[in-house]
Amino acid sequence: MHDTYGVLLGLFIVYVAAQVGAEAAMRLKLPAVVGEIAAGCVVGPSALGWVKITEPLAALSEIGAVLLLFSVGLETQVADLRRVGKAALAVGVSGVALPFVLGGGWARLTGFDTPQALFVGAAFVATSAGITARVLHDLGVLGRAESRVILGAAVIDDILAMLLLGVVTALQGAAGVDIPRLLIVLVQALAFVFFIAVVGTRLMRRTSAVLDAPINPHSPLALSLALCLGLAVEAAHLGLAAIIGAFLAGMVIAESRQRHALEKQVQPILSFLVPFFFVTTGAKVDLSQLGSWSVVGTVAVVTLLAVIGKIVGCGVGALSMGRRSALIVGVGMVPRGEVGIIVASLGASAGVFGPKTYAVIIVMSLLTSVIAPPVLKALLAGAPPEPAPEASLLVAVDETGNA
Amino acid sequence: MHDTYGVLLGLFIVYVAAQVGAEAAMRLKLPAVVGEIAAGCVVGPSALGWVKITEPLAALSEIGAVLLLFSVGLETQVADLRRVGKAALAVGVSGVALPFVLGGGWARLTGFDTPQALFVGAAFVATSAGITARVLHDLGVLGRAESRVILGAAVIDDILAMLLLGVVTALQGAAGVDIPRLLIVLVQALAFVFFIAVVGTRLMRRTSAVLDAPINPHSPLALSLALCLGLAVEAAHLGLAAIIGAFLAGMVIAESRQRHALEKQVQPILSFLVPFFFVTTGAKVDLSQLGSWSVVGTVAVVTLLAVIGKIVGCGVGALSMGRRSALIVGVGMVPRGEVGIIVASLGASAGVFGPKTYAVIIVMSLLTSVIAPPVLKALLAGAPPEPAPEASLLVAVDETGNA
């Protein structure tokens, strides 16, 4: 009975901290994620010490991350990828390549070995479409060409980030092993990702009715969640991050007819479980690591590289739209948010990142998410008005914004 | 990374087992709960051994139970209690008293000490309204007087069961302690229950707007879940079962204007987390304990007592409706389902029940849930038809049936 009390007390504190943090952040016009992670820092062992990261809390946090990436996948339709056009493709690809090179290069130069440096590079890559979409939505500019490119590129970005993360974790797991073994791991990983992303989604498009079959009224949801857990397990089994499997499961389900109903049903589950992930992420940050000027300097350098990587990388990809639009797109892609944070926490739990690197990457992710929205607003306020050509996009993006 | 794999694999197996069990049960026209618990027996350590009850799984199972009782509370409105009328009140009270006496008496006579025997008695008490409501709904007889009495009495039943469980756990925790201390614990427990059930619900009725205040679109849900976790923690802190707090939180939220929206939002969370509770419950059953004729005899006796307790106890309370109706009401109150199972698993984790008693009580709960529905159908098929006087009740009960 005593144990029940301890477990529930921990969960209660974490859940309330998340709500208070999110509420405070939103009143300060910051993304809710920033508030939840900051709340985690405050109640965590290195500050107030109200929350210890016990095994049940760690498991809930993992489940939260898995479901979060499942919902990101659920918003990633294969058809959207085809529709985004050349500009978004160029922005997505060059916006992944440059930050990866800058982040990995910085890590290699400051003393990490190559597999570790690649992991750091991966944490620089992923854009959080959710934060930018919210800003664009609030400004009522979702119909602008820049907005469409940003949101299209963010999808490409997510997929490339997952692929990169797959390669990097596989390399990590096989580090020190002979080259043939490493190649087998890599090929397995890539084969898994391509098989699910291509064959799985096609199969689902053709046989979407399977989700309808069972009698149980909650079965489409139950089957989707089972697929999510199953592919997460299989990804982990192949030496990939479990969240990659969850993301792919989301992409597969996104092709089903029940997609919209499922998106709605997944929301309450996310709103219960995802806070455990963000607060735990914050609680793991050892604030004492951030107490020296040298670390503040490192944070500044890393954040600057992360910002430059996206503005230049994405901006170059969008140059065909004109310089001001290219800048808007670049700034819109700056926030790292959830995915960067998940990569950082994977790196920490795999022992790739020490407490200092982990703290630096988390703070970088937070800073990019805090800096970009006001700059984006200022740029858009000064930009010439443009009519909204596709009303349908407003609906699609509104969902992303609320995610 | 390896640990993530182990945790997720366990969750995946449990979740799939639950879905397969539920589906199989529903095809056999049995309640889904029966299939989920049976699936747990099959994959658990005493049969296939695919699932071990690790700390994360135990925690998820606990959270599942807490949320389940929260949703039961959410369906329990104070106004319903006032409306049920004298018949339902009599049925509820005498239907709790007789099974408690029979169960507790049997336990005392077979060698349990008094606090343990009271705990066994408590496991005999609670009716699972969900199972009966589903049967009544499927037969289209929710408008009959018997149905209204059954569903009204089930609400009284839940509240009395929670009260009894509170007293019994408090006694258990304080067993061997001096009488004044015991009295303080009891008074605290009762004061907590009454305070929340009376003052809390009244406060919520008057100030329901608090749930609307925050900006976050999911905040009414988040606040409700925070209240659920908070009262569960407080209940555990006072030496009560955590689920009692969750149930009371549900009753408080049931008085808010957002009640119906919240019921809908809680459903997907339940459908993800509650299976972990039922499968774990089944997995904890040591099937080897059921392998002797003496235990089979015990199961038969206990199940008979559980059935007689409800048919006679509730039937006497409903005699004013005529003998056939009284029998229908009595049979309708027989299924124990979730709440009895939660009491059994609390007893096991508190060390009150050994593996044999636990297995016997679980099997009794399952048997009552399997036996009652066909008998109820047969009785209702032979009963004279009666017009449905209150169409509004159909809606209210439909929700219970889908719970």
For the ranges A56-70, A169-183, B9-23, the lowest mean pLDDT is seen at A169-183
Question: Tell me: the pLDDT tens digits for B207-254?
Answer: 766 565 544 455 789 999 999 999 999 988 877 778 888 988 998 998
Q: What is the distance between the alpha carbons of residues A211 and A197, in angstroms, rounded to a whole number?
A: 18
What's the confidence (pLDDT) of residue B155?
74
Asked if residue A37 has pLDDT above 80, the reply is: yes
Judge whether B8 is closer than 8 Å to chain A, CB to CB. yes
Q: Which residues of B touch A277 (CB under 8 A)?
A: none
Count of the separate structural domains present in chain A: 1
Task: Compute CA A90 distance to the chain's CA centroid, rounded to the nearest angstrom.
Answer: 20
Q: What is the distance between the alpha carbons of residues B159 and B81, in angstroms, rounded to a whole number?
A: 10
Q: What is the distance between the alpha carbons of residues A334 and A379, in angstroms, rounded to a whole number?
A: 14
**B70/A212: higher pLDDT:** B70
Asked if residue A355 has pLDDT above 80, the reply is: yes
- Best to test chain A binding among B2, B3, B12 (most A CBs inside 10 Å): B12
B248 lies in which domain range? Answer: 62-280+294-402
Is A62 a domain residue?
no
What's the confidence (pLDDT) of residue B395?
39
What's the confidence (pLDDT) of residue A177?
54
Question: How many angstroms away from the CA of A296 is the closest CA of chain B?
Answer: 30
Is A276 a domain residue?
yes
Asked if residue B1 has pLDDT above 60, the reply is: no
- Residue A56 has its nearest CB partner, among B59, B66, B233, at B59
Question: How many angstroms away from the CA of B60 is the closest CA of chain A?
Answer: 8
Q: Which residue of B has its CA nearest to A9?
A: B233
Q: Per-residue DSSP letters for B110-172? A: TT--HHHHHHHHHHTT---HHHHHHHHHHHT-TTSHHHHHHHHHHHHHHHHHHHHHHHHHHHH
Residues of chain A with pLDDT > 90: what percent? Answer: 24
Cα-Cα-Cα-Cα torsion A259, A260, A266, A271, nearest 10 degrees, comes to 150
Question: Tell me: the pLDDT tens digits for B284-294?
Answer: 888 888 888 88
Question: Tell me: the pLDDT tens digits for B35-49?
Answer: 888 999 999 988 888
Q: Which two tokens stand for residue A280?
A: 């735990």
Average pLDDT over every residue of A255-266: 88
The answer to whether A325 and A335 have CB atoms below 8 angstroms apart is no
Question: Tell me: the pLDDT tens digits for A319-334?
Answer: 988 899 999 999 999 9
What's the confidence (pLDDT) of residue A87?
82
- Residue B19: CB atoms within 10 Å: 24
Closest CA to A225 of A181, A185, A269: A269
Judge whether A223 is closer than 8 Å to chain B, CB to CB. yes
Question: Tell me: the pLDDT tens digits for B296-337?
Answer: 999 999 999 999 999 999 999 999 888 999 999 999 999 887
Q: Which residues of A touch B169 (CB under 8 A)?
A: 1
Q: Which residue of B has its CA nearest to A173?
A: B1
What's the confidence (pLDDT) of residue B208?
62
Is B352 a domain residue?
yes
Q: What is the distance between the alpha carbons of residues A159 and A126, in angstroms, rounded to a whole number?
A: 9
Question: How many angstroms away from the CA of B205 is the closest CA of chain A?
Answer: 23
Contact check, Cβ <8 Å, B4/A237: no
In A32-144, alpha helices (H): 32-43, 55-74, 78-83, 85-109, 114-123, 129-139
Q: For residue A254, give the amino acid letter.
A: A
Q: Please give, one letter per residue, the 3-state secondary structure of B212-224.
A: HCCCCCCHHHHHH
**A46/A60: higher pLDDT:** A60
For the ranges A274-278, B50-54, B306-310, B336-340, the lowest mean pLDDT is seen at B336-340
What's the confidence (pLDDT) of residue B204?
82
Q: What is the distance between the alpha carbons of residues A339 and A345, in angstroms, rounded to a whole number?
A: 10
Q: Which two tokens stand for residue A344?
A: 């950082």
Is B66 a domain residue?
yes
Q: Which residues of B touch A217 (CB under 8 A)?
A: 402
The answer to whether A328 and A146 have CB atoms below 8 angstroms apart is yes
The residues, ordered by sequence, that sit 6+ positions from A317 with a Cβ below 8 Å of its Cβ are: A87, A90, A91, A92, A93, A94, A95, A153, A329
Q: Quote the DSSP letter at residue B200.
A: I
CA distances from B55 to A289, A393, B45, B123 (A): 31, 45, 15, 25
Question: Tell me: the pLDDT tens digits for A55-72?
Answer: 899 899 889 989 988 988
Question: Tell me: the pLDDT tens digits for A102-130?
Answer: 999 999 999 888 888 888 898 888 887 66
Indicate which CATH number applies to the domain containing B374. Answer: 1.20.1530.20
Which H or E run contains B2? helix B2-27
Residue B203: exposure state from Cβ atoms within 10 A (0-12, 13-18, ≥19) = middle
Average pLDDT over every residue of B372-391: 72
Contact check, Cβ <8 Å, B216/A59: no
Q: What is the distance between the alpha carbons of residues A346 and A83, in angstroms, rounded to a whole number?
A: 32
CA distances from B85 to B81, B104, B312, B324, B327 (A): 8, 29, 20, 20, 19
What's the confidence (pLDDT) of residue B179?
66
Question: Tell me: the pLDDT tens digits for B180-216?
Answer: 766 776 777 778 877 888 888 888 877 766 565 544 4
Is B353 a domain residue?
yes
Is A40 a domain residue?
no
- Residue B5 has its nearest CB partner, among A7, A169, A236, at A236
Asked if residue A73 has pLDDT above 50, the reply is: yes
Residues of chain B with pLDDT > 70: what percent? Answer: 87
Q: What is the distance between the alpha carbons of residues A173 and A130, in angstroms, rounded to a whole number?
A: 31
Q: pLDDT confidence of B389, banded at 50, 70, 90? A: very low
Q: Which two tokens stand for residue A230?
A: 């199953």
User: Which A-chain residues 117-136 have CB contacts (< 8 A) with chain B?
Assistant: none
Q: pLDDT confidence of B9, banded at 50, 70, 90? A: very high
Asked if residue B400 has pLDDT above 70, the reply is: no
What's the confidence (pLDDT) of residue B401?
39
**B214/B380: higher pLDDT:** B380
The answer to whether A31 and A373 have CB atoms below 8 angstroms apart is yes
pTM: 0.81
Asked if residue B377 has pLDDT above 80, the reply is: yes
Residues of chain A with pLDDT > 70: what percent? Answer: 88
Contact check, Cβ <8 Å, B19/A56: no
Is B27 a domain residue?
no
Q: pLDDT confidence of B4, banded at 50, 70, 90? A: confident
Q: Quote the DSSP letter at residue B184.
A: H
**B382/A172: higher pLDDT:** B382
Judge whether A138 is closer than 8 Å to chain B, CB to CB. no
Judge whether A82 is closer than 8 Å to chain B, CB to CB. no
Q: What is the distance between the alpha carbons of residues B252 and A4, in angstroms, rounded to a whole number?
A: 23
Asked if residue B373 has pLDDT above 80, the reply is: yes
The answer to whether A176 and A185 have CB atoms below 8 angstroms apart is no
Contact check, Cβ <8 Å, B4/A222: no
Contact check, Cβ <8 Å, B4/A226: no
Q: pLDDT confidence of B386, banded at 50, 70, 90? A: low
What's the confidence (pLDDT) of residue A233?
93
Is A295 a domain residue?
yes
Closest CA to A278 of A31, A5, A4: A31
Asked if residue A209 has pLDDT above 90, the reply is: no
Average pLDDT over every residue of A234-258: 85
As a 3-state breakdown, chain A gives helix, strand, coil percent values, each rounded to 5, of: 80, 0, 20
**Phi-psi sector, A292: left (phi>0), alpha (psi -120 to 50), beta:** beta
- Residue B32 has its nearest CB partner, among A8, A216, A232, at A216
